[in-house]
Amino acid sequence: MISFLILAIDIKVVYIDEFTGNPVVKPYKVPDGKKAVEYLFEKLSSPPKMYKTFVPEDIFRAAYFLDDTLVIDLKGKNLKKLNFLEERMVLYQILISLFRTFSVSTVYLLVDGRSETTLSNFVDISYAFSREDWQTWPVEVNQF
């Protein structure tokens, strides 16, 4: 793990505008002593007024930087109640936020410390997600 990449940076968090349904990127300064990835997940799950999120509270377990890959370990129990749309939006918000914040080429997701085929019940996470595929918001506006 490369700790200097986790501390003392600015993060960029993606929320959904409640009125337009468009993704909105909000920058935050990581407070001293906070780990950037953990803080990013805190902010993802608690949007400011006028924005919404699909990311549940308390889903972050751990983060590991391996070369140019970021491995994120999530808590499965807080993902189990998501429907297909919610699960897909959680993935979109997490990936776009991570790629806008960190200079990594891929993100790989674990659930409860294990490699899984789906995030919860629907969305395939059996492969690493590439930066080049996640530069822009991948869904049409106003469909949620």
- The tens digit of pLDDT for each residue in 10-66 reads 999 999 999 988 899 999 999 999 999 999 999 999 999 999 999 999 999 999 999
Q: How far apart are CA 36 and CA 38, in angstroms?
A: 6
The share of the chain scoring above pLDDT 70, in percent, equals: 88
Contact 125, 117 (CB under 8 A): yes
Quote the strand ranges of 8-126, DSSP E. Answer: 10-17, 23-29, 51-52, 60-66, 69-74, 106-111
Q: Residue 144: which pLDDT band, with cuts at 50, 70 and 90?
A: very low
